[in-house]
């Protein structure tokens, strides 16, 4: 989501849970463990032996793993997005927000909440927290929001909208965030600015309690932690959504987010100070050895695609998408499905296990990123695998989170770099 909850194609309905647990109180940064919603470690887990075993979803993963040192905290997600668990207030209350590199504001649904979407868990009650502090409307933090105003009590009220017309309205405030750790000690981070949403609507479901903005703007969690840890950088290592449900991935901040070692490639981040989305330059995509350029009709523009953890699918120019589909048909050697109205015009194949090939390579400026079938084909239903990319209909090109799985991706806002490293993101 780039100010951004993009429409999801119907077959991209997945469940991924982000669990962040603090492994220790390191001033250099911290790490967050990512767990899908169908994991037994998820608070939303429901035992379902049919879930993945019927699909035969076992695969070869990269040998190198990634295990950063740092604090942990729980998180949750669904529908192909990631939900991070934050513990807010005093006394602490667990809240779950969608993790989104395409937006900035951290917000949760708060009482009283009129016109809000249905939420399964209790809403955050600011009046019960001893550390909840509303921000005045004449403050620098309030002025950093595009759409803000003053309440009769001179408090900073906001309205924050997303591309799919979802909206949150409420009061900007400071609050204490508490993370748990593997040694059962608590790590407290004070004065985190967040939105206490009192009127929220849009494409949310009952597990969503708000949003965790990881964009590049001044109020994002990345920027706020940057002030604490001395650098505005983070990394993520997402497990494939149809991996073993007992596995998990990692999100890290500060020094714990370092991406280094064998196999790392780096591309310039086309980023300006205060900008929210993370744009990079995609030169083209290869299917096997066949290179398909990003565009054949116009000069390649810098920053032509956004890396977005809040969007499952990858959205490409129409011409690029169509040529990729044709190359996949030729090189796969399989017969595409053309008699299932539920699948529409997607490129899909009947198979009990994921495809063995071909391999795609995303050619970013200075960085070639190999994408295996587990990152480019997903199962919308039993015995069917579909291409997890689509043609963008609004000119917004996105490198989605399906393609980002099993890659350690580092975002360094200060150095304006994005790093990629093929990684086994399971059990981190």
60 CB burial (10 A radius; 0-12, 13-18, 19+): exposed
Annotated catalytic residue within 100, 104, 208, 244: 100
- Our answer to whether residue 338 is catalytic in this structure is no
Determine the Cα–Cα distance for residues 179 and 183; give it in Å rounded to an integer: 12
Contact 222, 214 (CB under 8 A): yes
**Which of 94, 244, 308, 412 is labelled catalytic?**
308
Helices (H), 352-395: 373-376
Name the region of 154 (left: φ>0; alpha: ψ -120 to 50; beta: rest). left
- Other CB atoms within 10 A of residue 358 CB: 20
Question: Catalytic: 100?
Answer: yes
Counting every residue, how long is the chain? 428
Q: Tokens at residue 78, please?
A: 């669904």
Our separate counts of H helices and E strands in the chain read 5, 27
- Say whether the peptide bond before residue 112 is cis (omega within 30 degrees of 0): yes
Rounded Cα distance between 408 and 99, Å, is 16
HSE toward the beta carbon, residue 392, CA cutoff 13 A: 19
Q: C-alpha dihedral over 210, 216, 221, 225, to 10 degrees?
A: 180
CB-CB contact of 411 with 278 (8 Å): yes
Whether the Cβ atoms of residue 167 and residue 5 lie closer than 8 Å to each other: no
How far apart, in Å, are the Cα atoms of 224 and each of 99, 175, 254?
A: 15, 12, 11
Q: Element (H or E) spanning 330, and its range?
A: helix 318-332
How far is Cα 301 from Cα 321, in angstroms, rounded to an integer?
A: 18
Give the whole-angstrom CA distance, residue 241 versus residue 354: 13
Active-site positions? 100, 308
């Amino acid at each position: 989501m780039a100010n951004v909850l993009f429409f999801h194609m119907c077959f991209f309905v997945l469940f991924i849970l982000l669990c962040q647990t603090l492994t220790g109180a390191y001033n250099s940064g911290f790490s967050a463990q990512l767990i899908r919603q169908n994991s037994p470690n998820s608070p939303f887990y429901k035992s379902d032996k049919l879930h993945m075993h019927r699909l035969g979803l076992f695969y070869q993963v990269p040998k190198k793993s990634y295990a950063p040192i740092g604090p942990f905290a729980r998180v949750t997600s669904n529908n192909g997005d990631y939900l991070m668990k934050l513990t807010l207030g005093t006394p602490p209350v667990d809240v779950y927000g969608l993790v989104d590199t395409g937006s900035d504001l951290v917000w949760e649904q708060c009482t009283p909440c009129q016109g809000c979407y249905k939420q399964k868990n209790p809403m955050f009650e600011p009046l019960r927290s001893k550390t909840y502090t509303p921000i005045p409307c004449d403050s620098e933090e309030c002025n950093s929001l595009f759409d803000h105003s003053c309440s009769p009590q001179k408090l900073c009220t906001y309205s924050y909208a997303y591309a799919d017309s979802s909206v949150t309205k409420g009061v900007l405030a400071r609050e204490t965030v508490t993370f748990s750790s593997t040694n059962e000690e608590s790590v407290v981070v004070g004065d985190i600015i967040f939105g206490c949403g009192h009127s929220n609507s849009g494409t949310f479901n009952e597990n969503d309690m708000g949003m965790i903005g990881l964009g590049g703007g001044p109020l994002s969690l990345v920027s706020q932690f940057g002030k604490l840890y001395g650098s505005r950088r983070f990394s993520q290592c997402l497990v494939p959504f149809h991996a073993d449900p007992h596995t998990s991935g990692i999100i890290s901040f500060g020094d714990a987010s370092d991406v280094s070692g064998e196999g790392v490639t780096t591309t310039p981040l086309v980023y300006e100070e205060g900008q929210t989305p993370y744009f990079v330059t995609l030169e083209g995509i290869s299917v096997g050895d066949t290179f398909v350029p990003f565009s054949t009709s116009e000069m390649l523009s810098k920053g032509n695609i956004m890396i977005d953890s809040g969007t499952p699918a990858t959205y490409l120019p129409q011409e690029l998408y169509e040529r990729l589909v044709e190359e996949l048909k030729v090189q796969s050697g399989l017969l595409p499905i053309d008699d299932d109205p539920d699948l529409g015009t997607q490129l899909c194949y009947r198979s009990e296990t994921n495809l063995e090939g071909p391999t795609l390579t995303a050619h970013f400026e200075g960085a070639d990123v190999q994408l295996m079938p587990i990152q480019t084909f997903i199962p919308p239903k039993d015995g069917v695998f579909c291409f997890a990319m689509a043609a963008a209909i609004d000119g917004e090109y996105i490198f989605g989170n399906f393609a980002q799985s099993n890659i350690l991706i580092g975002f360094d806002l200060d150095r304006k770099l994005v790093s990629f490293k093929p990684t086994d993101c399971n059990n981190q």
